[in-house]
Amino acid sequence: MPTDQPRVIEGDLSVRDLRIACVASRFNDYVVEALLRGAVETLKRHGLPEKQIEIVRVPGAFEIPLVLRRLAMSRRYDALIALGAVIRGDTPHFDYVAGECASGVGRVALETGVPIAFGVLTTDSVEQAMDRAGGKGGNKGADAALTAIEMVNLLRRLEP
């Protein structure tokens, strides 16, 4: 029966043959490890085998975009997940580190066409960061993993 509803195009959460890498920073590692656990558990829960997940560690959030770029340009990954924690209390450079990281990640995704989920927390305190890394604010690493899967499948559906 014909309908006059607009066609909706969206990505689903199937993982099929995906290869996904997480780039995780060591700075504030107690927060980032919780984000990473959330991301990996979510990928596995949706059926992605462990051997199709890679983890690359970098010193801090500032280093994330460069490494993402290298991975994206290798064409070995369907999606990438950036995980880090920039906490204002730690540094007067907060705005620079957080800003460079966020704009760098966005630039790499646009430049390479590889979907990159942004799971880098930018918070005023450690407490706020922990809330979002498995506490009462959920786990932003897990959310980023879902975004990565959905975006791969959406971009595949949008291929000409």
Is residue 103 part of the contact set for ligand INI (CB under 6 A)? no
Among 60, 107, 131, 154, binds ligand INI (CB under 6 A): 60
Structure tokens at 150: 């959905």
From the list 8-16, 37-45, 86-94, 110-118, the region that binds ligand INI by CB under 6 A is 86-94
Cα→Cα distances 72→69, 80, 105, 160, Å: 5, 8, 11, 21
CA distance 79 to 4: 34
Q: Residue 93 catalytic?
A: yes
From the list 33-41, 56-64, 72-80, 136-144, the region that binds ligand INI by CB under 6 A is 56-64
From the list 12-20, 21-29, 34-42, 149-157, the region that binds ligand INI by CB under 6 A is 21-29
Among 62, 109, 142, 148, binds ligand INI (CB under 6 A): 62
Select 18 or 132, whichever has its Cβ closest to ligand INI.
Answer: 132
CA distance 94 to 37: 25
Select 72 or 87, whichever has its Cβ closest to ligand INI.
Answer: 87
Is the separation of the CB atoms in 120 and 82 below 8 Å?
yes
Chain-centroid distance of CA 75 in Å reads: 17
Nearest to 116 by CA among 160, 141, 82, 140: 82
Is residue 93 part of the contact set for ligand INI (CB under 6 A)? yes
Is the separation of the CB atoms in 145 and 43 below 8 Å?
yes
Which residues carry out catalysis? 93
**Which residues of this protein are in contact with ligand INI, per CB under 6 A?**
25, 27-28, 59-63, 84-87, 90-91, 93, 97
